[in-house]
Homo-oligomer: A and B are copies of this chain.
Amino acid sequence: MTNIREIARLAGVSTATVSRVLNNHPYVNEEKRRKVLELIDRLDYVPNSSATSLKKGMTRIVGVVSSLYTASSTSFIQAFSLIAQRHGFNIMIFLTDQDPGKEKVALEMLRSKQLDALVCLHRANEWNFIESYAKYGPIVTWQRLVSDRIPSVFMDQYEGYRLGLEHLHARGFRRILNVYSSRGLNTPQRMRAYADFAAAHELGGSGHPDFHGKMSLEDGEELAHWWIDQSDPPDAIACSNDDVAAGLLTELRRRGVSVPGEVGILGFDNNNLARLLDLSTVHYPSDKQAENAFSILLDRLGQPAPQPHALAFELIARQST
C-alpha cells in the first residue's frame, strides 16, 4: 500500500515536505508541491487525515461563530477567511441565529479538538460559559469583553460615535436624536459619547426620547413615518448603522422630505448602501479587525503571526448631513 514514505522517496523530497503538501501549508516550493501532488494522483493515494490529525493534534480549522449575516459581519468573515486560507487554515462557519445550543456545538468542537480555535462575532451564551471553554483552545471575540482568557478586537464606539456627533455639530445641527441598536454592547459607549458631546456644546437634546432596538432597513422606514408625524421634529438623526439610515433616508425622500435641508442623517459602518445613497457615515474597519483576530489566534497557537493593524474610525462626509 502506498504510504507517505514511498511518495517522499519517489518525489525525491522529505516526508515532512509531503506532509506539508497534504496539509495545505503555504511556503512549500511550487515545483515540489506539484511533483508530490502528481504522485498522489497517479498512485491514487488517500491520506488518512483523521489518523494524521490524531498524531499532530491540529486540524488547521478555525471556527467562526456568528449570528445571521449582516453587511458588516460578511465583511469580517470574508476578510477572516482570506487571511486564514493564506496561512493554510480553513474556516468552519456556525450561524447561531442567537441560539445558545447552536453556539454550544462550536464550543464542543473546540473542546474535542475538531477545531483549533474559535472567533466569536456574536455570542448567544453567557460569557462565563464561553470562557470555560478557553482552556481547550484560543477564543477571540469581536464584541466588547475585558477578559484575560478571551482577547477582543472590539473597538470602543465612544470614539467613532463622538466623531459622528461632532460632524453633525459642525454642519449646524443642534437638536440631534439618537437611534441605538438593541444589543447592550455598544449602546452604553454611544450614550456616554452623546452625553459628553452635549455637555461640551451645552446642548439640550432633541426634545424627544432616544430610540432603542433599531437595526434594520424596515426600522429606518418606520422612523421616517415617526419623523413626519412630529410637530416639532429633531433636525438630525444619528443612526445605529447604515441600514437604519438608508431606510430612513429613502423613505423620507419618497415622502418629499429634503435631506439634509429639513433633517440631517448620519449612518455608521460605511457599507455599500452608504456609498450608494451618498450617506454620511462613520467608517468601521471590520476587515482589519478580522485580520487582527486571526493574528491573535495564530499567536496563541504558538505560530508566527502578522503584526496587528492599528484600528481607527474615520468620518465619511457625504450628502446626507
Q: Which residue of B lies closest to A57 (CB)?
A: B50
Instruction: Select A94's contact among B90, B136, B277, beta carbons within 8 Å.
Output: B90
| A215-250 Cβ-contact flags toward B at 8 Å (1 or 0) | 001000000000000000000000000000011001
A275 to chain B, nearest CB (A): 7
Asked whether, in the complex, the Cβ of B22 is within 8 Å of the Cβ of A112, the reply is: yes
Please, how many angstroms separate the alpha-carbon atoms of A8 and B182 in the complex? Answer: 42
Instruction: Select A54's contact among B54, B97, B136, beta carbons within 8 Å.
Output: B54
A21 to chain B, nearest CB (A): 9
Stretch at the interface among A78-86, A157-165, A199-207: A78-86
Q: Which residues of B contact A54 (CB under 8 A)?
A: 48, 50-51, 54
Taking CB atoms and an 8 Å cut-off, the chain A residues in 1-28 that contact chain B are: 22, 24
Q: Which residues of B contact A187 (CB under 8 A)?
A: none
Instruction: Select A91's contact among B82, B85, B93, beta carbons within 8 Å.
Output: B93
Copies of this protein, total: 2
Q: Which residue of B lies closest to A55 (CB)?
A: B50
Q: Which residues of B contact A82 (CB under 8 A)?
A: 95, 97
What are the 10 A-B residue pairs with the smallest beta carbon separation, nearest first? A50-B54, A49-B112, A81-B95, A92-B92, A50-B50, A49-B114, A47-B112, A50-B53, A24-B105, A69-B74
Using A91-B92, A250-B276 as known contacts, list a sample of 15 further A-B pairs with CB atoms less than 8 Å apart, ordered by residue number in A: A22-B112, A49-B109, A50-B54, A54-B54, A61-B92, A69-B77, A77-B93, A81-B94, A85-B94, A85-B105, A92-B92, A93-B93, A217-B275, A273-B273, A273-B276
A-B contact pairs, 23 of them (CB 8 A): A22-B112, A24-B105, A24-B108, A48-B54, A48-B113, A49-B109, A49-B112, A49-B113, A50-B51, A50-B114, A51-B54, A69-B74, A78-B95, A90-B92, A90-B93, A90-B105, A90-B109, A92-B92, A92-B93, A217-B272, A247-B276, A250-B277, A254-B278
Interface residues of A (CB under 8 A from B): 22, 24, 46-51, 53-54, 61, 68-69, 74, 77-78, 81-82, 85, 90-95, 97, 102, 105, 108-109, 111-114, 136, 217, 246-247, 250, 254, 272-273, 275-278
